[in-house]
Amino acid sequence: MPIQFQLKHQSAKSRARTGQLVTPHGAIDTPAFMPVGTQGTVKTVTPAMLEDLGAQIIVCNAYHIYIRPGSGLVKEAGGIHKFINWDKPVLTDSGGFQVFSLADIRKVTDDGVHFISHKDGAKLFFTPELVVQMQLDIGADIIMPLDECAAYAASRTAVEDAVGRTTRWAKRAKECFILQTEGQRARMEDPKKTSTLFGIVQGGVHADLRKRSCEEIAELDFPGFGIGGLSVGEPQSEMFAALEVAADALPKDKPRHLMGVGFAADIIGAVERGMDLFDCVIPTRLARHGSFLTMDRFDSIRKARYEKDFTPIDSECDCYTCRSGFSRAYIRHLFMAKEILAYTLLTIHNLRFLMRLMASLREKILKDEI
């Protein structure tokens, strides 16, 4: 297999575990947070900064890259790693969530999804096969199939339909993936360009539907699983309950990626329930809105009380922003003046906050303190 996953330690007190996921572009110690570089860049920071912050892997979005600059162009450039100058692992999200967030301009059928491009209004049609092919062109280490994400407010019938369609699409995606990758092996292409297809489970917060989806997708024998359809507005307690169902229903020896979760309390609770990988735009998006992450969620640098606060964002943080003496007052000034450096300094802190959190969780799991 292009990837290997090895469990290192299972907590004696919870479902929490540590592991290592080995990909063609390096190993990832889990649990781990993956910064999101939607269009091939983690906003306002360079690849060198990401490596400095402790990022082991990043997430790019296949939908956005397909729209612009085009997955064919990325392939011509030698793949996503060469194109964005990042030689560590890359995971591509299929774009399913982005497509399904366009509720008023899309139509879902069993064949695929008809929708309108957010860029130029062009009519597009995504099928499970096209989504696999464009991600293989992009050349990520881990790729995701097209799935249907039902909203939290969706009816049980709608969630059940989404579970069935996600399974059918997963089967088609895997068949396409096998056909395409067999061709790659026959051509003896560079093994570092080999991708691995994960499965995605749905089911919303309905325990029986979540369990059914996990069992159906697990039966297809994917080497890893994305947990979809959560962090879409449901109460935290319901998300945690769904994660417990998923952790018990999915194979223990394969990685689990909880998609779209980026606040500390949610990550800690998900780690306790056996999740291994996380991604979210929260750290970079909050930075662009003048906020920094804390264990209590986040705080805004725009508050008047920080105007004369000459202390760092976090005196215990070892990130460049905090350890180099940039004060809250100065960062607030930069943000109010709309200086780009404000976004960079806040992004550095937010990402490092999550990297430190994950390292701390790995250590606590090893000591059976979770």
Nearest to 24 by CA among 154, 175, 139: 139
Point out the catalytic residue in the list 87, 93, 147, 276.
Answer: 93
Contact 137, 75 (CB under 8 A): yes
Asked about 279 being catalytic, the answer comes back as: yes
| Phi, psi dihedrals of residue 205, rounded to the nearest 5° | -105, 15
CA separation, residue 336 to residues 21, 81, 149, 152, 306 (Å):
42, 35, 38, 36, 12
Of the listed 141, 266, 276, 279, which one is catalytic?
Answer: 279
Indicate the length of the chain as a whole number. 370
93 is catalytic: yes
Handedness of CA 96, 98, 100, 106 (dihedral sign): negative
As separate numbers, helices (DSSP H) first and strands (DSSP E) second, the chain gives 14, 17
Distance between CA atoms of 195 and 134, rounded to whole angstroms? 12
Handedness of CA 201, 205, 211, 213 (dihedral sign): negative
Sheet order of strands, 113-116 included: 106-108, 113-116, 123-126
Looking at residue 104, what DSSP letter applies?
Answer: G
Distance between CA atoms of residues 142 and 30, nearest Å: 15
How far is residue 34's CA from residue 55's CA, in Å, rounded to a whole number? 7
CA 147 to chain centre: 15
Amino acid, single-letter form, for residue 100: F
Q: Which of these, 261, 263, 192, 251, lies nearest to 225 by C-alpha position?
A: 251
Task: Give the bridge partners for 123, in sequence order.
Answer: 116
- DSSP letter assigned to residue 73: H
Catalytic center residues: 93, 279
